[in-house]
Amino acid sequence: SSISSRPAMTIDTDTPLGSAPQEVAPQTPGGGGQPKRFKAAVYGATGYIGAELVRRLILHPDVELVRVCAADHLGKPLGAAHPNLEGFTDLIITAVPADESQVERVDVVFLALPHEVSWRVVAQLQHTGTRILDCSGAFRVDKASEYERFYGNVHPLPDLLPQFVYGLCELNREAIKETRWLASPGCFATTAELGLLPLALAGVLRGDVYSVGITGSSGAGSTALPTTHHPTRSANLRSYSPLTHPHSPEILQTLEHAGGKHLSIHFVPVAGPLARGILVNSFVQVPATVTQGQLDSWVDAAFTPGGFVRRPKERLPEVIAVAGSNFAEVKLVAGPVEGEVRTVTAISALDNLLKGGAGQAIQNMNLMLGLREDTALRDPGPYP
């Protein structure tokens, strides 16, 4: 279900959080209107995350997209890489700059790049005043040893790791507002963290956490691979990287920062036959005295009313309810009591390219620039 066919939407920054968005016309090249307050560039603009970053920035009332860079489609308009953007911008795709000179007068640079390329770009930009939002895994973990263990490379810039704020808005909102360097979370990590965050904040998340997550094919990127080829993906389910997925350490450190104790994360990802979306089921044990009512209250307390995490009451979270949007859904379900414990299932769902990727990055940018958090993001996805 393509989201590019929906009407262009934005949000009036004076509208209270949770109010309905206002429909507006697409911003065509050379259009009128007042100059926008901030300027942005997207490096890696031809990938799937890049496509969503560009689409949201084109619609953003306060941020002007001034540069799009990539390693392919050089010298061509964005529509050559993303047909849904045909006619919405006259920007031409250029190579990622070899130095920092091209970020002068750019307020924020999005890095939708492989982590080994993000290293190089961050090294170039670290002495500029430009805000950096890195959508790769290059700066998500606090410890270089954990990066090496799960990503298989020695981190070349370990001294910079502590300077990046981890961009889970629902946990680190105030720190995000103050930072200039941000590591936007991974898609699986965001999904699992949102599901388990209420338990961590309530102080009952302890010990072993078992998670199984199913993801759509767009999470593998825009380059075709044997495991993402449509004939072998469309009618298949396939586990991969069991217990070794690189999002595992960021899940662990985030939940520990939120109040989890003595945690051990056991995560198995599954490649599913859908294009976009993630569903994660996590299983934890809590004291037998914990009730369903308490679980519901902890979920309500963990997330800002009118924000991007919904708490469905009459059903369980599902991908079709959030695909194509920046919303996530979370539900905690109490299982039967077994001795002194009961097992809780934390169910969470989101769109891997939006709340798990570009949408969350735009949400972070809004906070960093002092804008409303939901600007250019509060539109529903298509159904079905």
- Catalytic positions, written as ranges: 187
Could you report how far apart the first and last alpha carbons of the chain are, in Å?
7
**284: CB partners within 8 A, 6+ apart:** 196, 199, 205, 207, 208, 209, 210, 343, 344, 346
**Contact indicator for 66, 40 with CB cutoff of 8 Å:** yes
**264: CB partners within 8 A, 6+ apart:** 207, 208, 209, 252
User: Please, what is the Cα angle at 116 between 113 and 118, to 5 degrees?
Assistant: 45
Among the listed residues 214, 346, 366, the one whose alpha carbon sits nearest the alpha carbon of residue 277: 214
Pairing label, strands 108-111, 181-183: unpaired
Write the DSSP string, 276-334. S-EEEEEEEEEETT--HHHHHHHHHHHS-TTSSEE--SSS---GGGTTTSS-EEEEEEE
Q: In what order do the strands lie in the sheet with 63-69?
A: 93-94, 63-69, 38-43, 108-111, 131-134, 181-183, 165-166
Please report how many Cα atoms fall inside a 13 Å half-sphere around the Cα of residue 301, on the Cβ side.
12
The Cα–Cα gap between 319 and 323 comes to: 6
> Which residue is it, tokens 């959030």?
322
The Cα–Cα gap between 113 and 119 comes to: 10
Q: What ranges make up the beta strands (E) of the chain?
A: 9-10, 22-23, 38-43, 63-69, 93-94, 108-111, 131-134, 165-166, 181-183, 206-215, 238-239, 261-271, 278-287, 309-310, 328-338, 341-350
B/e letters for 66-101, b = 16+ CB within 10 Å, e = fewer, are: bbbbbeebeeebbeebbeebeebbebebbebbeebe
